[in-house]
Chain A
C-alpha cells in the first residue's frame, strides 16, 4: 500500500489557504517546509491508483497549487 511523499509548489500568497485545504483531506498530511512557495505532504491511500488520482487531480485542482510531485513513493504490496 502506497505512502507517497509529495512536494508542492504553491503561490506564496495562498500558502495558508492551501495548507488548510490539504489538512481537511482524509488521506493527506501536509507539512510545512522551511522554504517559500513550497509545501510538503504525505499521501497514504489503499491503492496506487488512489494516490495517483489524489496527487494529479485533486491536489492540482486546489487553488494556489502550481504543481504537486511525488518525491518518494513506497508502493509495497500494491504491486
Chain B
C-alpha cells in the first residue's frame, strides 16, 4: 500500500497523541478534505527541552536545511510523556524571527549604532575595569536570568564573586521564585522540592494556590487531569482570587482577597488539629515548632502552635480573607485526607509575605504527614526554564554560593575559593545588593556598570518608571549598562552596549527544571548574523578583564574553553552537598532524558524523592548518611536536627492595602499566548493576533458601579504611575480586584509602572501581586 507523505505525518501525529495518552488509538479518523499547501519532512529529529516555563517538557525538534521546521512532544520523556503546550509550537518561528539582534550595538551621540565585536567588547571591558579600579569591586554588578543556561549563570557568578570580588550578582528569579526558596530553606534547610512530577499519579487531592496551572503550566495541568480521569474520587482545590481555567476541573474554589490567604492556611491548620486530622506520630518524629521573637527564631511547642491557631478560626479567616468558613473547613478536611500534592507559583511568591505564605503551605503538609510519600508533597512550580538549575542551584544570587552554600558562612566561602582557585578572602562575607537594591543603587549612580544577561528589567521591574530612569536617563555619572540578548527589548533601548546572543537551539547547555531534573539541549542550528552564545561572550569578557588586571590572570581563561569544561567544575562544586550530581556526566545527559539530583555516582539513576531512605542516595553515603533509618523513613537531613520546621507566622496584610483613594487591588499575571515580557512570543504574528493588546479584567459588579463596559479605555492609577488599557468586564476576578497581564511593552500598557516595589523582608521578592489602584474611565476612549 502506498502511503503519501501527508498520510504518513498524520499517522505519526496519531501515534504521538496515543503515546502521550498512554494508550492505543481505537480507530483511525475519517479523512477530511485536505487544505492547500505542501509538506516538508524534517531531515532529522533531535531530542531537546522546551524554552518556555519551568515544566521542562521534553521535545523533539525537526531540523531541515539548517532550520527548525517542526516540533513535537517527546514520547520517551519520563515525566512530560510527549505532552507540550501551544507556545512551544511556535518556538521555531521565534528562533528564526527576522527581528533577532545580529550585530553588536554601541550608543554614540545618544543613538545605538552597529559596531564590531572587538570595539564593543573593548568598550565593555574598559568601562568595567575603570569602575573597579576607581571605585572598587562593588561598583559593578551582574543581573542574570532563569533563562540563561546553567553553565552561563555559573560562570558569571564565578567571575563576579570569585574573580572581580563582588557579591553584586542577581537575577530575575528574585522576581519570581525567591519566596519559594525562602520557604524551602527556612522549613527544610535547603532549597528545591523534595517531590517530583511522578507524585501527580499518586495524589488524590491537588491543592493549587496562586497558580493558573491550566494556562501557565498546561502540561502539569494535563497530568493532573489525567490523574483525575484515572483515579477514583480525586479532588482539586483551587485557591485563587480569579476564576482561572483551572476552575473547569476544580471541585472547590476559595477566592481570597489577594494578600490575605495566610489566614486561610492557618484556619485550615486550626480545623485539621481541632478535628484530630493531624498526624501526631509524624509530628513527634520529624517536626519542630518555631516563631520569631525580636528578630530571632525560638523553639516553641506543639501546644503553643495550637494556642496560636486559636486566633484563626474559619470564621475569623473568612472575615479577613473574604472566603466562606464552610469552604475553609472543607478544604482542610480534603487536604488531610490526602495523599495531597500542593502546587503554587507567583500568587504565593510575589508578595511581601511570600516566605511566610510558603511556610504555611509546608505547615499543612507537616502537621498532616502529607510529605515524603507517593502523591504527598509540597511542590513549587517554576516560571522560567532554568530558574532552578541555573540560578537557584548555582548560587547566582547576591546572598548565596553554588549548591546550597551561603556567602555568610566562612566554611562555604572557603570551599568555593579553594575550588575556584581564588585568594582566600576574595568572596565577600556579606550579601551583595539584591535586585531592588541593585537598581536603586543604579539610580543613585552607586553601581557604575552593570551587565544584564537574557532578561528585560526595563519591562519587568515593579515601580518601573523609577528603574527605567536609573538605567537610561542621561545624567552626569550615569552608570554604564550592557545588555546581552537575542531580541530588542525595553531594556536594550536603555543600554550603552547591546551584544547579540545566540538563543535556544543555537547553543548547547543544560537547563534544570522544577523537579530537580537537569536536561541537556544540543545546538541544532546556527545563530543569525554575528550573534554568539552567551557563554562565549562571558569568556571573552572575562579574558579582557584579566588583561586589564581586574581579574587574576588565568582565573577564567586558564580553565574554561567550552560548556563541558564549566559543567565538569559544576559537578565538582556539588560534591558532598545536598545537591550532589557528580554522577551526571555530560555523556549521560546527552543520552538520557534528564536526571534528577541527587545523582552522586555515575551509575545512580537519579532521585524521585529526597529525604526518604531507600530513595535518596545521600542517606546512604556522604555527610548525610544515616544507617539507623529503615526504608521509607524520612529525615530532613539538610537541617541540623533532621527535623522540618512548622512556623508560627502572624497574619500580615499586604504592603499597600486598598483604601478610599485607591479602592481596588491590582493583581498582575499571564495569558496563555504570551510569555513574560513578550520578547519571544511577540515575534510570532499568530500569537500577537490572538492576544494583540493588554486588557484589564474588571468584575461585572464593579464595572457597573463605575459605568465601564468591555472595550472602554480605562486608566489604572496607583501612587507610582498609570497605565491606559481596554477593559474586559468578566466574571473572572473577584469583586474589588482587577487583573492585568504584564506582557505588553507599549507605553500605555506597561503595567509595572503601576505595581509596587515593596518586597518580602526575607526573600527580597517584590509584591507584584498586590497594590492599591483606582480605575478611571477615559471619556470617549472607546475602542
Which A residues form the contact surface with B (CB < 8 A)? 1, 3-7, 9, 12, 23, 26-38, 40-42, 44-49, 51-53, 55-56, 60, 66-67, 69-79
| Nearest CB on A from B391, distance (A) | 28
Distance between Cα atoms of A52 and B38 in the complex (Å): 19
The closest CB in chain A to the CB of B22 belongs to A35
Residues of chain B within 8 A of A46, CB atoms compared: 35-37
Supplied contacts A42-B14, A73-B70, 12 more A-B pairs, CB within 8 Å: A1-B36, A7-B83, A29-B29, A30-B29, A31-B17, A34-B23, A40-B17, A42-B10, A72-B13, A75-B69, A75-B71, A77-B39
A40 to B17, CA, bound (A): 6
Please determine whether B21 and A33 come into contact, CB atoms closer than 8 angstroms.
Answer: yes
Question: In the complex, which residues of chain A have a beta carbon less than 8 angstroms from the beta carbon of B32?
Answer: 26-29, 44
B73 at the interface (CB under 8 A from A): yes
Task: Give the 3 A-B CB pairs with smallest separation, nearest first.
Answer: A37-B229, A5-B13, A1-B37
Contact status B89-A3, CB under 8 Å: no
Which chain B residues (687-711) contact chain A, with CB distance < 8 Å? 687, 689-690
14 contacts between A and B (CB under 8 A): A27-B35, A31-B14, A32-B25, A35-B22, A40-B18, A40-B25, A42-B14, A48-B89, A49-B685, A49-B690, A53-B690, A70-B86, A71-B84, A77-B39
Residues of A close to B25: CB separation below 8 A: 31-34, 40
Q: How large is the interface on B (under 10, 10 to 19, 20 to 34, 35 or more residues)?
A: 35 or more
Residues on B with C-beta less than 8 A from A7 are: 17, 20-21, 83, 222
B214 proximal to A (CB < 8 A): yes
Contact flag A72-B16 (CB < 8 Å), given A1-B37, A38-B21: yes
Asked if B420 is an interface residue, CB under 8 A from chain A, the answer is: no
Nearest CB on B from A57, distance (A):
8
Residues of B within 8 A of A (CB): 6, 9-10, 12-14, 16-18, 20-40, 62, 67-73, 82-86, 89-90, 92-93, 96, 214, 218-219, 221-222, 225-226, 228-230, 245, 248-249, 672-673, 685-687, 689-690
B17 & A75 in contact (Cβ 8 Å cutoff)? no
- The verdict on A75 contacting B70 (CB below 8 Å), with A6-B17, A34-B26 known, is yes
Supposing A7-B20, A7-B222, A48-B89 touch, asked if A74 and B38 sit within 8 A by C-beta, the answer is no
Contact of A38 among B16, B72, B229, B245 (CB under 8 A): B229
How distant is the Cα of A28 from the Cα of B225 in the complex, in angstroms?
A: 22
Known interface pairs A1-B36, A4-B13, A5-B14; A38-B28 also in contact (CB < 8 Å): no
CA of A66 to CA of B25, assembled, Å? 20
Is B672 a contact partner of A73 (Cβ separation < 8 A)? no
Given contacts A5-B16, A7-B222, A76-B70, contact A52 B686 (CB under 8 A): yes
User: With a CB–CB cut-off of 8 A, which chain A residues contact B73?
Assistant: 71-72
Taking CB atoms, residues of chain B closer than 8 Å to A74 are: 9, 12-13, 39, 62, 70, 72
Chain A residues, Cβ within 8 Å of B28:
31
Contacts of B62 in A (CB 8 A): 74
Whether B21 contacts A52 by the Cβ 8 Å rule is no
B72 contacts A73, CB within 8 Å? yes
Bound state CA distance, A26 and B31, in angstroms?
10
Q: Shortest beta-carbon distance, B626 to chain A, in Å?
A: 42
Instruction: Give the chain B neighbours of A9 by CB distance below 8 A.
Output: 222, 225-226, 229
CA distance A37 to B22 in the complex (A): 12
Distance in angstroms from B151 CB to nearest chain A CB is: 29
Chain A residues in 8 Å Cβ range of B690:
49, 52-53, 56
A61–B84 Cα distance when bound, in Å, is: 20
B583 to chain A, nearest CB (A): 32
Closest chain-A Cβ to B392's Cβ sits at a distance in Å of 28
**Minimal Cβ-Cβ distance residue in A for B83:** A69
Cα distance A44–B13 in the bound complex, in angstroms:
11
Contacts of A72 in B (CB 8 A): 12-13, 16-17, 72-73
Question: Cβ of A23: which chain B residues have Cβ within 8 Å of it?
Answer: 30
Structural contact, A76 and B219, CB atoms closer than 8 A: no
> What's the nearest-Cβ distance from chain B to residue A4, in Å?
7
Structural contact, B89 and A67, CB atoms closer than 8 A: no
